[in-house]
């Protein structure tokens, strides 16, 4: 084999900060956006960071590099390990979660989970989403400030419980709703986030300790989930069960190519994944969208004009097709993506990428946030401009709020559909206004980003020219 000349010889690893690894991790937890912005500005693309638990970590944002890293899992499985980098989520979602599986096991599970999130199955939930939004918003007192994320979290949690379990009321529903809210809120503080990243903090010191509280809440949630699974399995041959359209009913009926169903443990882990990811991320995205829409009056006015073209009681599918509403949602997920990075890929065998020689064990991060902040792709990237999504179409490696390749979020279509319907319902029926009209920066909530709790809005009144009647939430 011909040796590399001086001009073509692969470069050493890219440059990066020299501060101790544990300090870099603390900064990553406490100041994630500043952490990424400052390093990208100083070291360029790619750059290297140090971690107490990993070999060298390289951050990439170049679309060509992201395609190499995130492309088809079938093509990349021999080059990258895609499961070990997700272990930070293992205590929450479990070993059988789709996010932690690799190779054939991942493909099997993904095939079983795909049907509920596409086509008519997904669209059947449209009226339910609008009804839940109306129900929650009707509880907001006129003229009284409310914390935006609390309301959007309430909406998204009720939506996910209704669509996953068909639950809208009852003791089990109320217990799950409260426990799931407490579980995700437990990661809202810096210490709560740190316990996910530092294994030394994962010590059960009793119900008063962060990890102790988490373990007890997880156990309580597991008891409720396994009870629901057992009850539904017992009902699986009844007519009422066969007519159910919730996701659990579909998963209970699903069979792989050998005719095998999902086990109770697999069901539990996938249900927790859906519950945890399906409401936490959507709640934050909705809160950001409401902030930007009111913060920029020109965006609000243009969006209201578009919504009014449909009139009252618009069909959910018609709402989902509105171009400017879609662009607002896309720009919301671009400027502050809920997940900053795709899950890490660990190099299995020597390879070259962007002129660098990478040895086995090197950790590659496809940075969603930095890809969305590239001025060569998005001019004035710090500005909120929905029009950019009306002017051109971006490739899957330029715009990737749900990750990329075969490990892209399975619920992306549902999340976008829900986001549009919730925003359309809220803005069409109520006049909303920010309590404080000021710039905001995201805060960490576990492995995701969210608006700060200081983000509040107030209901000024109903929109006077619309008297829409939303359907009631069905009680199953």
pLDDT band at 420 (very low <50, low <70, confident <90, very high): very high
Q: What is the pLDDT of residue 10?
A: 58
Q: What is the mean pLDDT of residues 407-414?
A: 80
Q: What is the mean pLDDT of residues 413-437?
A: 94
What is the chain's Cα-based Rg?
23
**Weakest-pLDDT range from 104-118, 319-333, 334-348:** 104-118
Q: What is the pLDDT of residue 369?
A: 96
Structural domain count of the chain: 1
Q: How many CB atoms neighbour CB 174 within 10 A? A: 12
Is residue 189 predicted with pLDDT exceeding 90?
Answer: no
Is residue 114 predicted with pLDDT exceeding 80?
Answer: no
Q: What is the pLDDT of residue 453?
A: 86
Alpha-carbon distance values, 322 to 121, 317, 394, 410, 435 (Å): 21, 9, 18, 23, 28
Domain that holds residue 177: 21-462
pLDDT band at 75 (very low <50, low <70, confident <90, very high): low
Higher pLDDT, 79 or 367: 367
Q: What is the pLDDT of residue 471?
A: 44
- Angle at which helix 210-234 crosses helix 171-185, to 10 degrees, equals 150
Q: What is the mean pLDDT of residues 146-152?
A: 94
- 112 within a domain of the structure (yes/no): yes
- 14 within a domain of the structure (yes/no): no
In three-state form (DSSP H/G/I as H, E/B as E, the rest C), the secondary structure along 206-266 is: CCCCHHHHHHHHHHHHHHHHHHHHHHHHHCCCCHHHHCCCCHHHHHHHCCCCCCCCCCHHH
- Strand-pair partners of 352: 357
- 474 within a domain of the structure (yes/no): no
Higher pLDDT, 474 or 86: 86
- 11 within a domain of the structure (yes/no): no
- 122 within a domain of the structure (yes/no): yes
- 453 within a domain of the structure (yes/no): yes
- 1 within a domain of the structure (yes/no): no
Alpha-carbon distance values, 361 to 73, 83, 102 (Å): 18, 13, 17
- 64 within a domain of the structure (yes/no): yes
| Tokens matching residue 178 | 């409260």
Q: Whole-model pTM above 0.85? A: yes
CATH number of the domain within which 122 lies:
1.10.630.10
Q: What is the pLDDT of residue 108?
A: 79
């Amino acid at each position: 084999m011909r040796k590399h000349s001086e001009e073509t010889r692969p470069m050493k690893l890219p440059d990066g900060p020299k501060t101790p690894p544990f300090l870099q991790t603390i900064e990553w937890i406490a100041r994630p956006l500043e952490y990424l912005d400052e390093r990208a500005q100083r070291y360029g693309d790619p750059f290297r960071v140090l971690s107490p638990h990993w070999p060298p970590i390289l951050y990439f944002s170049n679309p060509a590099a992201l395609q190499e890293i995130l492309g088809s899992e079938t093509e990349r499985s021999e080059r990258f390990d895609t499961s070990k980098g997700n272990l930070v989520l293992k205590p929450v979602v479990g070993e059988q979660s789709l996010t932690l599986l690799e190779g054939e096991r991942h493909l099997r599970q993904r095939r079983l989970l795909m049907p509920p999130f596409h086509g008519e199955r997904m669209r059947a939930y449209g009226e339910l989403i609008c009804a839940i939004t109306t129900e929650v918003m009707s509880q907001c007192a006129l003229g009284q400030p409310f914390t935006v994320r609390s309301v959007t979290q309430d909406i998204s949690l009720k939506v996910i419980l209704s669509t996953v379990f068909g639950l809208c009321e009852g003791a089990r529903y109320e217990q799950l709703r409260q426990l799931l809210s407490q579980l995700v809120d437990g990661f809202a503080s810096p210490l709560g986030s740190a316990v996910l990243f530092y294994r030394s903090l994962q010590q059960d010191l009793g119900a008063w300790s962060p990890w102790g509280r988490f373990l007890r809440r997880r156990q309580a949630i597991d008891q409720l989930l396994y009870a629901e699974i057992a009850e539904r399995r017992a009902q699986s041959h009844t007519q009422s069960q066969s007519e159910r359209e919730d996701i659990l009913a579909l998963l209970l009926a699903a069979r792989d190519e050998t005719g095998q169903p999902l086990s109770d443990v697999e069901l539990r882990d996938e249900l927790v994944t859906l519950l945890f990811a399906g409401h936490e991320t959507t709640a934050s995205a909705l809160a950001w969208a409401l902030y930007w829409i009111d913060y920029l009056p020109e965006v609000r006015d243009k969006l209201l004009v578009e919504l009014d073209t449909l009139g009252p009681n618009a069909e959910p599918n018609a709402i989902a097709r509105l171009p400017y509403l879609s662009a607002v949602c896309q720009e919301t997920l671009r400027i502050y993506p809920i997940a900053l990075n795709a899950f890490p890929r660990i190099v299995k065998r020597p390879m070259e990428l962007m002129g660098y020689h990478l040895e086995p064990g090197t950790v590659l991060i496809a940075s969603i946030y930095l890809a969305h902040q590239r001025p060569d792709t998005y001019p004035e990237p710090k500005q909120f401009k929905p029009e950019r999504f009306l002017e051109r179409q971006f490739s899957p490696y330029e715009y990737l709020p749900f990750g990329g390749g075969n490990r892209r979020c399975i619920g992306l279509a549902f999340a976008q559909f829900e986001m549009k319907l919730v925003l359309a319902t809220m803005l069409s029926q109520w006049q909303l206004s920010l309590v404080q009209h000021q710039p905001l920066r995201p805060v960490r909530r576990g492995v995701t980003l969210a608006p700060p709790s200081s983000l509040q809005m107030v209901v000024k009144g109903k929109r006077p020219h619309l008297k829409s009647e939303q359907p009631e939430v069905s009680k199953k």
